[in-house]
Amino acid sequence: MASEELISSSDGPGYSRGMIKKATILTVIIFLALAFYWRGLNAPADKNGQEQIFLINQGATAEQIALDLKKDNLIKSAFYFEHLIKQSRQSVKAGKYFISPKLTTKEIVKILTMGDAISDERTIKIIEGWNIKDINNYLNKIMAADSFLNIARQKAKDLKFKIALDKELADGLPADATLEGFLFPDTYRIGNDAKVEDIINKMLANFNKKLTPAMRAEMARQKKTVYEIITMASIIEKEVRSQDDMKIVSGIFWDRIKNGQGLESCATLAYVLGVNKAQYSLEDTKINSPYNTYKYRGLPPGPIANPGLNAIMAAIYPALTSYNYFLSDPATGKTIFSKTLDEHNMNKARYLK
């Protein structure tokens, strides 16, 4: 009998314990190799690769998406990607995605199944009281530098947009009027490939819509032009905050024009000087500019900003009060009204120290 013990089986030849041990070790090695290989399929396809846009069309199958990802070198294995999709029991959402080959396949699956796609639109928010320079500075972050300003500064009557200003308004504009005042402040959705003209058209169309027939009729009844109303509204917008205060200030300013007084608006001085001050000097009030309402009577040549609806409504529907003066408390922003010049001077000494 051989020295090595044999293990017999009723169905086949006998095997030595050594052979079984070798087979077990081999099985473990194969299992570990497969596990290591399987785990490796989840690794990033290219740790030095660049992020790229990956498009998934509506109705695309997981198999087709997997093949496209593999073709673009974004994953290591199409089969592994399909396996993860089936395992997740979720579907891939159509859209455009930023996908980096530095991501693992599991991370890519999470992005595609959550539907974290690139929007074809973006949101912009134009603030009440911004002038065209302010809007331009804001839009410079997403568009060619000063491209907005170059158009908005052109004469409004010369612009050839699809919407532009409506004919009634355009006919009443001074020859040198720009779009200042008519670029309605609001939140807008614009395409990622939107041009300056597209944004301006949205603002002008919104302005045309906000200026209702009733508001236009009231302006006509008062024998005021839209340009005059928007110019006044732009000053009111920069002077005070609340809707009630805006109506009171509107009444004060229209009364000053009616009585032949200067508006003496600090907002117009800020527009001329390019700086906001709590209190302007006597020298500031003497600066020679048609927008200086301390030096010149009546409304300035045009709007100094783009007013919101509250300021426009205030300009059309002023509140009639016995107030003649006002100032803003720099600490709180609260508007302090007074009836007499002596009272106003006392308020200046108290609040504008």
Q: Is the pLDDT of residue 11 over 50?
A: no
pLDDT value for 9: 42
What pLDDT, in 10s, does the model give residues 118-146?
777 789 999 999 999 999 999 998 888 89
Q: Is the pLDDT of residue 1 over 80?
A: no
Hey, where are the domains in the chain?
A: 52-114, 123-210, 224-353
Q: Is the pLDDT of residue 3 over 50?
A: no
3-state secondary structure the chain: CCCCCEECCCCCCCEEHHHHHHHHHHHHHHHHHHHHHHHHCCCCCCCCCCCEEEEECCCCCHHHHHHHHHHCCCCCCHHHHHHHHHHHCCCCCCEEEEECCCCCHHHHHHHHHHCCCECCEEEEECCCCCCHHHHHHHHCCCCCCCHHHHHHCCCHHHCCCCCCCCHHHHHCCCCCCCCCCCCCCCEEEEECCCCHHHHHHHHHHHHHHHCCHHHHHHHHHCCCCHHHHHHHHHHHHHHCCCHHHHHHHHHHHHHHHHCCCCCCCHHHHHHHHCCCCCCCCCCHHHCCCCCCCCCCCCCCCCCCCCCCHHHHHHHHCCCCCCCCEEEECCCCCCEEEECCHHHHHHHHHHHCC
Any idea of the CA torsion for 84, 86, 88, 89, to the nearest 10 degrees?
170
pLDDT value for 28: 64
pLDDT value for 2: 41
Return the top range by mean pLDDT from 10-14, 60-64, 187-191, 250-254: 250-254
What pLDDT, in 10s, does the model give residues 263-321?
999 999 999 999 998 889 999 999 999 999 999 999 999 999 999 999 999 999 999 99
pLDDT value for 24: 73
Q: Which of 73, 71, 79 is nearest to 37 (CA)?
A: 79
How far is 66 from 81, CA to CA, in rounded Å?
6
Confidence at 215, pLDDT banded by 50, 70, 90: very high
52-114: CATH architecture: 2-Layer Sandwich (3.30)
Range from 18-32, 172-186, 271-285, 309-323 carrying the lowest mean pLDDT: 18-32
How far is 254 from 323, CA to CA, in rounded Å?
12
Mean pLDDT of the chain: 88
More confident residue, 37 or 215: 215
pTM of the model: 0.72
Percent of the chain surpassing pLDDT 70:
91
Q: Is the pLDDT of residue 165 over 80?
A: no
Confidence at 34, pLDDT banded by 50, 70, 90: low
Average pLDDT over residues 317-337: 94
pLDDT value for 141: 86
Confidence at 238, pLDDT banded by 50, 70, 90: very high
Q: Is the pLDDT of residue 162 over 70?
A: no
pLDDT value for 164: 65
Most distant CA pair in the chain, distance: 133
